[in-house]
Structure formats: structure tokens, C-alpha cells
Chains A and B, each alone.
Chain A
Amino acid sequence: MKILIAIGSKEFSKPTLRTGLKVAKAFRASTTIVDVGEKIGKFNAKIIGLAHERMESWEFDRPGVDVLEWAFQYLADNEYIEPNTIEAGFPKNTLVETGSNRAEVYLKGTVCKDVNLILRNGDIISELRDEVHTGRYDVTIIGGSQKRRMAHDLIQYIDSSIFIVNQLISAQTYRILLAVDDSSGTKKAIKYGARVAQAFDIGVDILTVSKNETFRDGYRNAAERAAKFMRRAGIDCKNMYKVGDPATVIKEESGNDHIIVMGASTRNPLAKFFKGSKPLKVMEECKCPILIVK
């Protein structure tokens, strides 16, 4: 299992990093933390490179290194990396350029497998897509964004499961809201839902939504299979059957105290692009964290 955690700044990325590392720990996943800095026009890229070289000669870090250093400190404080790595401090000098817009540093992990820190510059969707594609990540964890376009692009173009850490408050008690149906994505969503529930040590509400009063066999079977899976894993769970528009019902049931877990849409990419999808609608309407499993 490989997890990519996208952070952006020291001020706003702490919940994303905390949640991401908790999930990574539950999966014992190989973890990469990436900071995608602002896109700088290619027109002046070389000249900026020259200016940054001068900055480094005066012992100033280029923008973004401070964010990685902060992430390193978080890893150290919570003992996610080995003691001798912590003792040596943030290995700035081993931040290796691995492409025109990419630099990375390797750290030896403890509870997670290896932890890598990566610095990239550019358009966030392009950079994450490239990183996920080359690194073959299973889950991308990222903070929430107000931009509709961003939500759409994440779901449409990032080739991994997406966990959006939307307003996750550490003091609040959450439950997982696992949306199931007869689609092919449900099976994987159940597994991921169970792992996240274990990571946060919380219960699971299994939600089945039908547009009319009759619940197809496939729906009931999926709900029962999910409940069985949870019980076997020792996770507290309850089944809920609701009638209505799936996105609206999920929004109502999730409130502010659930982490939504659902499978990705099985619609073809063109239909998703023009008509949207259930996960996109849920992402737009719900204020809570959401994991869309691909």
C-alpha cells in the first residue's frame, strides 16, 4: 500500500498531515508527503533557478523547504521516523533534484514504511497526477478546497483513491458513514472503510440509499456483507436503509460528525466530465471529510 499526502502550508496543513499519517499507520503504508508550490511561468524558470542558487549561497532555503522541514518536525515529534534520523535533523542537503520541478528526500520510517518528502512546483492537479502515476499510489490525501473545479479535477484525473480532509476537528468524535450499493467499487470501499475506522478507533454507519422504496438484492447484499466484514474486524457498526437522492441523503446523514467513505463512480469518463457523478455531488455538498475509493 502506498499513500501520498499533499500538504500546502504550515498554517493549514496540520489536519491533513495528522489524518494522513494516522491512515498510513493503519495501513502500514509506504508514505510520501508532497508540497506542491505555486506554478512559476516557464519563461523565467532558469533565471529564478539562478536567483535561488544565490539564496542558497547565503544559506536561505528556497520556498517550500520550510514546509518540508515543518513536516519533518511533525514526523519527529510523533515518532513516525527512526530515532537516529530524528537526531540527525532535517537532511536538507540530501534533498535531491529528481526532475525540473521535483526534489525529494528519503527518511526511514517506524510505524509506516519509508517516509519520503517531496517538493514540487506547478499546477497542483498536474503535479499530483504525475506523482500518483509514477509512484503508483493507492490513496491520495489532501486538504479541502472551496474551488468546485479542484474537486472535479481530483476525482476525474487522479488515478488513486482520494481522501479529502475537509474540516476534520481533532477534538470531535467521528463515525464512518460507509455508503454502499451494488456497484463494483463497494467491495473496496468496505475494506478501506474498515481500515480507516480502525485507524481512528471509531464505529461505522453503513448507509444504503435507494431512489425508491424497493431495495434491490444487490443493495441489501452489499449492506449485509459490509456489516459482516465490520463485525469480523471487531468494529462497531449499524445498518441504515434510506430512500431518496443518494447525495442528499448522504449529506443529511453525515452531518458534521462523520467521515464519508464511498466507492468512485463507475460512469465512463466522458459522462463524468459532462454530467458529474455522485461522489462529486457529495464532495460539493458535504462539509465533512470524505474518502472516495477507486
Chain B
Amino acid sequence: MLGFSNRSLTNFLFWATQKKWFLITMLVGAILYLLPTPSGLTLEGYRIIIIVITAFMMIITEPIPLPGVAIYILVMEVVLGIGSPEEISKSFMNDAVFFIMGSLMLAVAIVQQGWDKRIALGIIRLTGNKTKNIVFGFTAISAIMSSFIGEHTVAAIMLPIAMTLIKFTSEDGEKVHGLSAVLLFSIAYGCLIGSIGTPSGGGRNVIIMSYLQDINISISYLNWMILVYPLVLILIPIVSWILVKSFSPEYDRLDTGVRKLVVQVAKSPELTGRNTLAVFIFFLVFLGWVFLSETLGLGIIALAGVLMYLIAGFVKWEDISRNTHWGVIILFGSTISLGANIKGTGAAFWLANKVIYVFGSLMEMFPFFTDTIIVIMTTTMANVLSSSATVAVLGPITMNMGTDSLHLGMVTALASAFGFFTVVAAPACTIIYSSGLVTAKEFLKAGWRVGITCIVLLITYTNTYWMVFK
């Protein structure tokens, strides 16, 4: 046919099948491009919305590699006249991108320090052998650590500890399925709720902080903690209780598992000066975040930590380079560029007004209704996209949905952490799923209970406790 061999036709059909979502996305983009610009919206504003829709379709369906989506965003921003190449390249990079880069690099450095065995021993000493207490311990430790270290690092550290307890309780996976689920979900959900506690808990928090700085509103590391950490402490026991109720672990006590875990840890080498120094370096990073972040920025401090680990020789650059997903960094940069241009072209204001137009009367009648809309919108998007991409794009819109940008921005950042429902919502969820011990359905089983509880508590919390500070 037209000189094409059967093989090349098959190759083309295979390509078209694999890339069908890319082709559908391009078709949607072309149709939107040909439609007239909605009234009240600038041409650039309309075009940036088209880029957002098409890029998000590709992030969800992944027909091309994600760095490809990032490049698509940047190319289209220039081609569609959203900004000059210089303007677009400037909008690509800010402290939030540095933070995400530093955070991914720190993960590599920290994971290699072998803290997991010490942490395992610490948890067991605190909780004893009762399953319920261990679940609480896992949730609490994961939450507290992920407030400072980054959820993916914590999940990677905690996963083998949980697996040891599971394996040594019973080798037969069927007999410990409930136990596996409850322990692994306590790690993932603990990481998620803990990541809202401090600005360094996740890239999404830093993105909102940088958006706030753009409109001359600043919030310090400690103030963020004062505002948010009580919620984390409230959520820890509630989430662990829901998990135990949802999965009904087969064993009330994990005597054998705990005993074997202690033996396993005892076999590991003694704590060395190098280990202590590695902890000390991270402590310096933490102090930097608390006291210097307003002047130096969270990203620069995270990168300074990486630099210290490199100078001390605790991690090799080759390991950092091999284990850091550079494509993810490019993608975050491009979504931040999208966010900046949504704001710059007036699209954010226009979209916010549309939401107010639809729900305005309810927003006036019930003060908490704006928060409710933001939380539902953000949580939904964060569960199908990445949380940082959600915040990067939604942040400029939600911050225009009322007068208190700080309140609205922070609600957006906090709600974006509630990726309880899907495997892909958060790195911690994907990590526990990759163990092969939990199924995708179980994310819904526990997720809807934990998710609804967190949403209700967040809205209540922000409309009561935060009011005290106003």
C-alpha cells in the first residue's frame, strides 16, 4: 500500500495505538485553538489555558515521557506567544525548583546513610509488640520524619522495616494480607499527613510560598509549623485508628516479627562517627530552613545540604546523578512556568472569577464554602496528577478566589497532600504499591475513609484554629 511494507504499516499502527492519547490531546488542543476566545479573557490567557489542558491530559495518560511534556509546555508557551524565550526561561526556574532538585538529591544522600535499622529499633522500643501500637508508631514516625525530610525518602526508609515485620510474622502472604496493608498504608498515609507540617515537607508547600512572596506575603518556617503542625498531630492517631479498622490485621501482637527484627538490627554495624555526622549535617539543613529560609530560600539551603554531603564524601555524585530523576525536575520547572504565566496573562483571575460567579452566593452565605471548593478541586486533581503540578497551576487561581491569599494558598498546599485514593497520587503511595504487597483497590478501600476525614478536619481546622491568629 503506497509503497509501505506490512512491517512499516504494523509499526505505524503500533505507534498510533501507543500514542493514541497524544493524538487525542493534540486534536482537543487544535479544536480549542480554533474556538473563539471567551469574553473577558485575553488571547494569551486563553492560549495558556489550552496549554494547561493539553499538558495535564498528557501528564495523566503519559503517552510521551514526562520530560517530553515539560518540553512541550515550554515550546508551546513561546510558539503561542505567551512570552519571549527569555521570559519563558526565567519563569521556568525559581527557588521551588531548586528545592525540589535539592530534596531529590538529599533523598539519595540520606537513604544511603543506613538510618533505617536505627529507626526500626526506635519504633519498636516506643511501641512494643502490639499491632495497634506499631501501626500508630509507623504512622507517627513517618509523619514526623516526612515533615522535614521529604515523603519519598521516608517511605523508602520505612518500607523494608515494615516488610521485615510482615515476613517474619508469616511467610504466607495470604495469612498476613491485612497486616501488610495496615503497616504499609500507615507509612504512606503517615508520610502524606506529615508532609503538610512544614514548608520543607513537600515541593508543593514551597511553590505556594514562592507564589505568596510574589505578592509580598511571607510566612516563616516556624509560623507555618505553628499554623499547621497541630493538625498533623490530630491526624496521626485518627488515621492510624481508621487504618486498623479498615484492614483488621490478622495478628494482635507481632511477637515473632518484632523479635526477628531486633535480631536483624542487632546484626547491623554499630553507629559510627560518620553516621552521627550525617545526621548532624541534616540537622544543620533543618536549622537553615527554620532560621535562614526567608533570606536564603528553602531550595538553596537544601542544595547547601547536598553540597555538604558531597564535601564530606558521604555520597558520590555518580549515585546522586543516577538516582535523581532529572526529568521530574524539568517537569516541575515547566509547571511552575505554567503557573507564572496563568497569573501573568490574567487567566488565573478570569478562572477564579468564573468559580466565584458559579458559587458566589454560597461562598458569601457559608464562609467555609470557598475552602471546601478549593479542597475538593485540589484533592481531586492531586489524585490524578502530581501534587506539585496541581499546586503550581491551581495556586494562582485559588489565591484569587478571595481576599486572604495566604489562607487560600495554604489551604491549596495542604489539600494537595491528600493523595490517598490512587497509586499515582504521591511518591509514598507508589513506593508501597511497588512492594507488590498491596493492591490498587486497597487505596480506595482505606483512602475514602482517610480522605473524607482529612478533608472535613482540614476545613474545620482552617475555619476555627486559624481564625484565632487573624
Which A residues contact B (CB, under 8 angstroms)? 40-55, 57-58, 60, 62-64, 126, 129, 153, 156-157, 159, 268-270, 273
Contact = CB atoms under 8 A, between A and B. Distances in A.
B10 interface: yes
Interface residues of B, number: 44
Q: Most chain-A Cβ atoms within 10 A of its Cβ — which of B10, B159, B386?
A: B10
B427 interface: yes
B23 to A, nearest CB: 15
A43 B67 CA distance: 9
Interface stretch (B85-93, B247-255, B323-331, B396-404): B323-331
Interface string B182-200: 0000000000000000000
Given A45-B325, A47-B430, A55-B435, A269 B156 contact: no
Given A42-B62, A54-B111, A47 B325 contact: yes
B101 to A, nearest CB: 13
Given A58-B160, A60-B167, A270-B1, A50 B111 contact: yes
Interface in B153-205: 155-157, 159-161, 163-164, 167
22 contacts: A41-B430, A43-B66, A43-B328, A43-B331, A44-B424, A44-B431, A47-B427, A50-B107, A50-B108, A51-B155, A51-B159, A54-B156, A54-B157, A55-B160, A55-B435, A58-B164, A60-B164, A60-B167, A64-B436, A156-B10, A269-B9, A270-B13
Contacts of B453: none
B17 interface: yes
Interface in B319-370: 323-325, 327-328, 331
B65 A44 contact: no
Contact of B430 (A40, A53, A268): A40
A46 B325 contact: yes
Contacts, number: 105
Interface of B: 1, 6-7, 9-10, 13-14, 17-18, 62, 65-66, 104, 107-108, 111, 114, 116, 152, 155-157, 159-161, 163-164, 167, 264, 323-325, 327-328, 331, 386, 424, 427, 430-431, 433-436
B323 A46 contact: yes
Contacts of B434: 40, 48, 51-52, 62-63
A53 B13 contact: no
Contact of B159 (A44, A54, A126): A54
B187 to A, nearest CB: 11
Contact of A129 (B14, B108, B152, B424): B14
Given A48-B431, A50-B323, A268-B1, A55 B159 contact: yes
A142 B169 CA distance: 35
B160 A63 contact: no
Contact of B111 (A48, A53, A60): A53
